[in-house]
A and B are shown apart, each in its own frame.
Chain A
Amino acid sequence: MQSTQTQISENNQLSQSIEKEVVFELEGITKIYQMGEVQVHALRGVDLKLYEGELSVLLGPSGSGKSTLLNILGGLDTPTKGSVIYHKVLDDKDEIIDLSAASEHQLTEYRRFNVGFVFQFYNLIPSLTARENVAVVTEIAKAPMTPEQALELVGLGERFDHFPAQLSGGEQQRVAIARAIAKNPDVLLCDEPTGALDSKTGIKVLEALQRVNQELGTTTAVITHNAGIAQMANRVISLSDGQITDIHTNKTLISPKDLSW
């Protein structure tokens, strides 16, 4: 146990030396859920840093705590113990938000202006068209792209006025990605984005994600239990039993279409 911890902090140091700005700084994150009379330890003392512009994959089996970690990063949940510092990337000054001590209102504002979310089951608004689903977000953002631009970016140029029920699963997920990136978020968080898709469609979705990450430089974290996907990430953070077991940096990134699924 002790050795793993040491190794992780060495890895962190290593990454830092690339001289990228830290976006998330997690220290001693513990999350305990009270399920009736049983206490579930979802996270047991996680330390982690995520860097500007990197695409990281959180890998782990179900129950490993990866979702809990993503929820905490996304400001949907707060840790029981430990601190989560979010460094907002600004040109001149460094704005810091302590997510572990933020109020409900602060967390909403944090999500509103900084985070883009992609859900496993897309969670599109069925009563809005593709364009309008994106507009839901751009209407409240500070410096968004247009819904059309966002949809073009994920390769859905012709399907602006389709309702979700008229789109395939892959198309729906790409609308969801467009919706997430349209506000030009600093952070893009994806929860099993290909979990409900077949491999062919999944690749299209991953390509869209990678393109966003490379072209816009959005710090991206993807949850998956599919180890194959990990090869397209800068860093792979493996979780098991509420703890980080390994952080692996890919020297070369594999394009989604070459991933072994």
Chain B
Amino acid sequence: MNAIDIKLWRELWNMRMQAMAIAMVIIGGVAIFITFFSTYHSLYETRENYYQDNHFADVFASLKRAPISLVKRIEDIPGVDKVETRVVTYVNLDIAGYDDPVSGHIISEPDKKKSLLNQIYLEDGQPLEPNRDNQIIISQEFADAHQLKPGDKLKANINGRNKSLTIAGTGLSPEYIYQIAPGAMFPDYKSYGVMWMARTPLASAYDMTGAFNDISLTVTKGTNLQDVIDELDNLLAPYGGIGAYSRKDQLSNRYLSQELKQLKNMATLFPIIFLGVAAFLLNVVISRLIALEREQIATLKAFGYSNIAVGMHYSKLVLMIVTIGVILGIALGIWMGKGLSGLYMNIFSLPYMHYLLKPEVIASATLVSFGVALMGTLYAVNNAIRLSPAQGMRPEQPMTYRPTLIEKLGIQTHFSQSSRMILRHLERHPVKSFLTTIGISLACGIMMVSGFQKGAINKMLDVQYNMSQHEDLMALYTEPTSTRSLYSVKNIQGVELAEGFRNISANLTFEHRSYRTSVKGVEPNQVLTKLLDSELKPIKVPEQGVIITDYLSQQLHIKVGDTLTIKVLEGNRPILQVPVVGTAKEYLGLNVYMQRHTLNRLLKEGDVISGTYLKVDEKYQKQVYKDLTNMPKVVGVVEQKSAIKSFYQTMNDTILLFSFVSTLLGGSIAFGVVYNSMRIALSERNRELASLRVLGLRRSEIAYILLGEQAIITLFAIPIGFLIGNGFCAYLAMKFDSDLYRIPFVLENNVYATAALVVIVSSLLSALMIWRNLAHLDMVAVLKAKE
């Protein structure tokens, strides 16, 4: 090794704490980059493989009942490749030892062959035996939630008759990667499951022999999906088709796509911040090192080392620190990426997760890190390159100071000499003071993001379920039913309130934009579900016109006063023209609301409802649920609260992990910035402080000068950090917005408090380390040595 390289290693060793603090910030940036990108690619590729292996369909549609003979005509639609019809039913289940309501979908499996599309991935047990009416395969998540295994039994209410079913196997389906009950917003594997049963017995139980109520198909490459969907809609319309949709709009796939989008957002924003901070720190540290080594640089040049060699020398130091950061960052990123991918495998029902770390991800993380670091230190290294030997031998000019602005105002008499030193030093180095402040602010801002997510989800649930939806149960009817049915519902013991609603599938159009959702007809004075305005105050649905979700109005670019075209996808499929009279704040889903009577009238139907919201005395809730499910017209009962509870459990684990990681990362930035800036200040002012010690100042008094400056910077940084954090959170909230859900932009006081606390604790920690260094100030050396 060259002598000059040995010098490099020794210097790195001497500044190991500072180097580690910088490397930690780089590790953070690289690790986040690797974690999110590798998880993104893993999730993306796994989904693609899974879809391909298990023949996930391109187009889906449900209908009331159509004869099998219709299939021939569907197959003739240009571009259609494979077609599979199914019988799908919604059933209530009874699981031994579990008292709360459970429901599920039973999907038919072809009797003698494997299904063509949306094939089951069998995890455990055996495939279904043909024609067996007492065998089912259940979804793995559902099995896990109830600890069911092949051979166990459960009871299902199949078309009014309780039937005991044996579990043949457990499995997963590409159609239900995100598995939620109809009407629910979150998965609840305990109360909802997907199951498969042989077609013949299922069809005969539901009078579907020779018929189907669900169809999925694939298309050949290059086919225009919309044409196929339109054709299919035309064919299915007479059979009660409620509109076909493509894979893009398939619920499970939509959730997954939304998640992928979020991963990509996270993967870019944070690494940029981390690497920016690291570049700043490297600049500060290398600048200081070069200033300290002026004479050495001059000596080396006097001995004949070229400018380039000197420049390379200091660049190498930067590269060594970055290399440590990148290598450890990649390692940490792989570890966290695998962890996060595993977490996704559980949140989403995926049969496997191929962890995929693309070489280009590693390459770009490495290149960007090195590039940013070298750019950040360009100025400092250039100073070393340009220093002429003769100039370097002379000591640097002393700093010129001036009274600060504050002092010019004439209030300096209130400041001690130490305080004046602090203020003048801050003002003398405006760029450094500013960048240090921003560095700490960024740490504070990053910290706020983790707190924000938790608060936002709480807010979302609070608005949705405490302010907007007050019902305990929601009963859905098999078909539009007279409002008279409400009387029998109200008569069930324990029901305190029952309010009917009408619900139809529809395609909304305004100008060239359209969106498929449901139109809800609600009672004008209903108590159980309330619409809220932007200030979260309840609003009433007027007799004429519709109120739509605020986000829907943005998506369709429709304003209050415009006319919305509603293409109803049920019944005689009328096309309605209705004015928009208001918007409602909703965080989940996109909806259209109008008065039920108005909707009934527009649909030219009687006084009918599609379901009922119920307020139930908690004591009787289970019994009410049982009674409801036994009513012939009730197809299913949804219990929102248990879904929220289980959602919370899933989210809590994820959020806890996320909070821990972001606290660590935010703390590492705060510590990195504060510790380094204090170390540099100590090095720059070593002589000054030691002289003051000689003059009899106590350690606490010189600590005040050094740490006081940092304290001022930190105190300035925190409010700026709050602003930056606000910006980050607003940005993320905006990026996370989708038709499935919107993240409300709310920041609670505790989010601010936690962020400030982490910054303060990190600062105190570095202050403590500096305090120890101050004990070892060499007073004897300053008597002699000239800087």
User: Which residue in A115, A117, A132, A165 is a CB contact (below 8 Å) of B417?
Assistant: A132
Query: Which of the segments B157-165, B317-325, B420-428, B510-518 contacts the partner chain?
Result: B420-428
Is B399 in the interface zone, CB < 8 Å from A? yes
A123 and B696 in contact, given A128-B420, A135-B417 (Cβ under 8 angstroms): no
Contacts of B694 in A (CB 8 A): 74, 76, 111, 117, 119, 123
A136 and B695 in contact, given A127-B421, A163-B400 (Cβ under 8 angstroms): yes
- Closest residue of chain B to A183 (Cβ to Cβ) is B696
User: Which residue in A77, A113, A135, A166 is a CB contact (below 8 Å) of B696?
Assistant: A113
**Which B731-787 residues sit within 8 Å CB-CB of chain A?**
775, 779-780, 782-784, 786
Is A188 in the interface zone, CB < 8 Å from B? no
Is A30 in the interface zone, CB < 8 Å from B? no
Contacts A76-B780, A125-B692, A165-B399 supplied; 18 other A-B pairs, CB < 8 Å: A77-B780, A108-B698, A109-B696, A113-B696, A119-B694, A120-B783, A123-B782, A125-B417, A126-B398, A126-B401, A127-B420, A127-B425, A128-B417, A128-B421, A132-B420, A164-B398, A165-B400, A191-B784
A119–B691 touching, CB < 8 Å:
yes
Contacts of B401 in A (CB 8 A): 126-128, 163, 165
Is A88 in the interface zone, CB < 8 Å from B? no
B691–A165 touching, CB < 8 Å:
no
Is B701 in the interface zone, CB < 8 Å from A? yes
| Alpha-carbon distance between A110 and B730 when the two chains are bound, in angstroms | 58
The 8 A CB mask of B680-705 against A (1 = contact, 0 = none) is 00000001100111111111010000
Contacts of B784 in A (CB 8 A): 67, 120, 191
- Closest residue of chain A to B696 (Cβ to Cβ) is A112
**Could you list 15 examples of A-B contacts with CB < 8 Å?**
A67-B783, A76-B783, A108-B698, A111-B696, A117-B694, A123-B691, A125-B688, A126-B688, A127-B420, A127-B421, A127-B424, A127-B425, A137-B696, A140-B697, A191-B784
**Which B392-424 residues sit within 8 Å CB-CB of chain A?**
397-403, 416-418, 420-421, 424
Contacts of A109 in B (CB 8 A): 696
- Closest residue of chain A to B403 (Cβ to Cβ) is A129
| Alpha-carbon distance between A111 and B699 when the two chains are bound, in angstroms | 13
Output the least CB separation between B540 and chain A (Å): 68
Contacts of B420 in A (CB 8 A): 127-128, 132
The 8 A CB mask of B313-349 against A (1 = contact, 0 = none) is 0000000000000000000000000000000000000
Is A160 in the interface zone, CB < 8 Å from B? no
Contacts of B701 in A (CB 8 A): 140
Contacts of B782 in A (CB 8 A): 119, 123
Contacts of A74 in B (CB 8 A): 694
Contacts of B780 in A (CB 8 A): 67, 71, 76-77
- Closest residue of chain A to B701 (Cβ to Cβ) is A140
Q: Which of the listed residues B425, B691, B697 has the most CB atoms from chain A within 10 Å of its own CB?
A: B691
Is A10 in the interface zone, CB < 8 Å from B? no
The 8 A CB mask of A46-81 against B (1 = contact, 0 = none) is 000000000000000000000100010010110000
| Alpha-carbon distance between A139 and B403 when the two chains are bound, in angstroms | 19
Is A235 in the interface zone, CB < 8 Å from B? no
Contacts of B402 in A (CB 8 A): 163
User: Which residue in A127, A133, A135 is a CB contact (below 8 Å) of B428?
Assistant: A127
| Alpha-carbon distance between A127 and B400 when the two chains are bound, in angstroms | 8
**Which B143-198 residues sit within 8 Å CB-CB of chain A?**
none
4 smallest CB-CB distances across A and B, nearest first, come from A112-B696, A123-B691, A111-B696, A127-B424
The 8 A CB mask of A162-200 against B (1 = contact, 0 = none) is 011110000000000001100000000001000000000
User: Which residue in B397, B399, B698 is a CB contact (below 8 Å) of A127?
Assistant: B399
| Alpha-carbon distance between A109 and B701 when the two chains are bound, in angstroms | 12
Contacts of A129 in B (CB 8 A): 403
B699–A179 touching, CB < 8 Å:
no
Contacts of B428 in A (CB 8 A): 127
B399–A126 touching, CB < 8 Å:
yes
| Alpha-carbon distance between A128 and B424 when the two chains are bound, in angstroms | 8
Output the least CB separation between A210 and chain B (Å): 22
Output the least CB separation between B477 and chain A (Å): 81
| Alpha-carbon distance between A140 and B425 when the two chains are bound, in angstroms | 22
| Alpha-carbon distance between A104 and B777 when the two chains are bound, in angstroms | 12
A108 and B693 in contact, given A71-B780, A126-B401, A191-B783 (Cβ under 8 angstroms): yes
A76–B779 touching, CB < 8 Å:
yes
Output the least CB separation between A129 and chain B (Å): 8
| Alpha-carbon distance between A127 and B782 when the two chains are bound, in angstroms | 18
Contacts of A136 in B (CB 8 A): 417-418, 692, 695, 697
Output the least CB separation between B295 and chain A (Å): 16
| Alpha-carbon distance between A177 and B223 when the two chains are bound, in angstroms | 93
A139–B398 touching, CB < 8 Å:
no
| Alpha-carbon distance between A137 and B402 when the two chains are bound, in angstroms | 21
| Alpha-carbon distance between A111 and B701 when the two chains are bound, in angstroms | 14
Q: Which of the listed residues B401, B687, B775, B783 has the most CB atoms from chain A within 10 Å of its own CB?
A: B783
- Closest residue of chain A to B421 (Cβ to Cβ) is A127
| Alpha-carbon distance between A166 and B401 when the two chains are bound, in angstroms | 9
Contacts of B418 in A (CB 8 A): 136
B783–A119 touching, CB < 8 Å:
yes
Contacts of A128 in B (CB 8 A): 401, 417, 420-421, 424
A71–B421 touching, CB < 8 Å:
no
Contacts of A179 in B (CB 8 A): 695
| Alpha-carbon distance between A111 and B402 when the two chains are bound, in angstroms | 30
Output the least CB separation between A79 and chain B (Å): 13
Q: Which of the listed residues A109, A165, A180 has the most CB atoms from chain B within 10 Å of its own CB?
A: A165
- Closest residue of chain B to A124 (Cβ to Cβ) is B691
**Which A92-130 residues sit within 8 Å CB-CB of chain B?**
104, 108-109, 111-113, 115, 117, 119-121, 123, 125-129
Q: Which of the listed residues A109, A119, A126, A128 has the most CB atoms from chain B within 10 Å of its own CB?
A: A126
Output the least CB separation between B393 and chain A (Å): 16
B695–A117 touching, CB < 8 Å:
yes
Contacts of A111 in B (CB 8 A): 694-696
Contacts of A115 in B (CB 8 A): 696
| Alpha-carbon distance between A109 and B697 when the two chains are bound, in angstroms | 8
| Alpha-carbon distance between A130 and B709 when the two chains are bound, in angstroms | 22
Contacts of A127 in B (CB 8 A): 399, 401, 420-421, 424-425, 428
Output the least CB separation between B116 and chain A (Å): 81
Contacts of A123 in B (CB 8 A): 687-688, 691, 694, 782
| Alpha-carbon distance between A71 and B784 when the two chains are bound, in angstroms | 11
| Alpha-carbon distance between A14 and B694 when the two chains are bound, in angstroms | 33
| Alpha-carbon distance between A127 and B692 when the two chains are bound, in angstroms | 13
| Alpha-carbon distance between A20 and B380 when the two chains are bound, in angstroms | 59
| Alpha-carbon distance between A152 and B59 when the two chains are bound, in angstroms | 96
Output the least CB separation between B86 and chain A (Å): 81
Contacts of A112 in B (CB 8 A): 695-698
Contacts of B400 in A (CB 8 A): 126, 163, 165-166
| Alpha-carbon distance between A128 and B779 when the two chains are bound, in angstroms | 20
Contacts of B691 in A (CB 8 A): 119, 123, 125
Contacts of B417 in A (CB 8 A): 125, 128, 132-133, 135-136, 139
A139 and B421 in contact, given A76-B783, A119-B783 (Cβ under 8 angstroms): no
Contacts of A180 in B (CB 8 A): 695
Contacts of B403 in A (CB 8 A): 129
Contacts of A125 in B (CB 8 A): 417, 421, 688, 691-692
Contacts of A166 in B (CB 8 A): 400
| Alpha-carbon distance between A190 and B421 when the two chains are bound, in angstroms | 25
Q: Which of the listed residues B692, B701, B784 has the most CB atoms from chain A within 10 Å of its own CB?
A: B784
- Closest residue of chain A to B417 (Cβ to Cβ) is A136
Output the least CB separation between A34 and chain B (Å): 14
| Alpha-carbon distance between A133 and B424 when the two chains are bound, in angstroms | 14
The 8 A CB mask of B199-218 against A (1 = contact, 0 = none) is 00000000000000000000
- Closest residue of chain A to B402 (Cβ to Cβ) is A163
| Alpha-carbon distance between A227 and B578 when the two chains are bound, in angstroms | 108
Output the least CB separation between B50 and chain A (Å): 66
The 8 A CB mask of B547-587 against A (1 = contact, 0 = none) is 00000000000000000000000000000000000000000
- Closest residue of chain B to A141 (Cβ to Cβ) is B696
**Which B428-448 residues sit within 8 Å CB-CB of chain A?**
428
